[in-house]
Structure 1
């Protein structure tokens, strides 16, 4: 038995999960190519059109990917706005050209200035966004425009590290206006519902690297969640995760889709044991060669059952100390 035999589709994050800075993450292509499950790439990155994303996925080796396998938060934001404002309304789009095109396809009139009196601002990630564009958005919102964001990710994992994400740009507009946007992307459940519906999936598995978006969103949608330790959220983030952000499975990489489901859940393994001492989580024992993630799953079984948050993690054996050296 393996994880992939328990589900009928995969809802996959992209940045930090499938690729990083356009480079395929280790084991991703082989794992997904052999899974034999329908997939939907559900991404908070709103800067590129679905076909552009699909082309990039084909380039890294996922040859069967089409635009129909991609759902961006820009698409979700346009759908959300369409539920709130009439077709034909003027909107200011703070984002990429593909976002502007999606807004036009959704029936809106895209304008270039607050002076055009847009009734809504649609805000998505665009590396070219600067002071002038942020100011037009702020002027529009201060004049009464509704505010919609594709996502609120504070950072964007790329090859050189964590770059500024859309949420950090949104924070500037919120600071200038006092208005918080409605967000269409993760951690809201809407994109997960839509992805599962498109695939006619009754038992999807949500896969991602980030607890506060991918995992929280999948959990909010009532789905099982699979976190890979290849992106933003790491070992210590998991130890301190609030209930809404705790994944069903903890994986080192996408290759763990082929592992026994029980092995990937929190619980004692690798000969480790753990206990709570005040606000400290103490990990001891450990078989020779036991992995850092085995120590993590052992620790999570105890940390997530604790009544108070863990503020410190301490090793009480040589093997545990070696494991903790690899935590981040």
Structure 2
């Protein structure tokens, strides 16, 4: 463990939005001020979002209104990634059926393709992105169009859920799944967890040591693995310490933080030792022992250091896990 704050290990933050910076219209506690502090320390912040319903300028304005002044050029969206993917595969001016918001249509126009809204306009592709106003008729139009196997189908993202101010709501992935069920087809996915959107964000920041900051294992953390980048799981959104412990190897984050304020503290690296069939990890005053299908944690119940130790021990015992695991976890409180 070094004496420097965690943020000093990186030269850019590639930050998710929903569940990290805000939930619905409201800032998450500690978010904007922490991002401002990072920029003041010379660590640029790029925002990488799978929400294709708003243009980057609107996203930047929202972040700015919450207290973290931001430019549109600092927002890399899945809508932009989808537009670039389609532009690379289709002739210029090709028609693309929009199953999503006007912001998605604008990104399609920006790369030289023609957005349309009906199968009757003979589209060569369908692009589907999140839109809270999307209804049955738009989903049906996509299904009708995709009955032609020659029509390309691209989804901006397949997030099953989205954190909102009132709780967890269905995300774009649920709407994509409805079209997939109707057509028997699967889309190409442009945004997270695919690597290109992260590489684009890092290039814009001129970063060589970026870290992905997110609240979701299946998009943010898996995407960081795909891009070959370090990752931070922050527990202010969708995933929890329990789901992180059980994660498959491609969804295991490098660091665990309770909130963004902890970027500016020294990170307690768990120390791992192997003995016979046991693995022991210590994180400050917390100790975890992983054995067979169980983890015993000696710490204040549900303490973050306890979970850090538990993850370090369990992952060291099971370094390769193609699917989520299911250990029995026992907490022994230290009084």
TM-score by structure 1 length?
0.92
SS at match of 1:193: helix
Distance 2:76 2:156 in 1: 12
Distance 2:96 2:208 in 1: 36
Selected match of 2:129 from 121, 124, 129 = 124
Is residue 2:243 matched to residue 1:216? no
Unpaired stretches in structure 2, ≥5 consecutive residues: 273-280
TM-score by structure 2 length?
0.90
1:324 aligns with none
Distance 1:34 1:132 in 2: 46
Instruction: Tell me the CA shift for residue 291 of structure 1.
Output: 6.7
1:9 aligns with 12
Contact 2:270 2:312 in 1 (8 A): no
Selected match of 2:181 from 164, 175, 181 = 175
Instruction: Tell me the CA shift for residue 272 of structure 1.
Output: 2.5
Selected match of 1:19 from 10, 17, 22 = 22
1:123-150 CA deviation, whole Å, 9 max, x = no partner? 0000111111001101111123110000
Distance 1:211 1:243 in 2: 11
Contact 1:271 1:290 in 2 (8 A): no
SS at match of 1:305: helix
SS at match of 2:261: helix
Instruction: Tell me the CA shift for residue 276 of structure 1.
Output: 3.0
In the alignment of these two chains, the number of paired residues is: 315
1:163 aligns with 169
1:314 aligns with 330
Once the two structures are superposed, the pairs formed by residues 1-328 of structure 1 within 5 Å of their partners are 1-36=4-39, 37-63=43-69, 65-143=70-148, 144-263=150-269, 267-284=281-298, 286=299, 292-307=303-318, 309-315=325-331, 317-319=332-334
1:293-313 CA deviation, whole Å, 9 max, x = no partner? 011011011111224833321
Instruction: Tell me the CA shift for residue 275 of structure 1.
Output: 2.2
Unpaired stretches in structure 1, ≥5 consecutive residues: 321-328
Instruction: Tell me the CA shift for residue 248 of structure 1.
Output: 0.8
Instruction: Tell me the CA shift for residue 110 of structure 1.
Output: 1.6
SS at match of 2:104: helix
SS at match of 2:283: coil
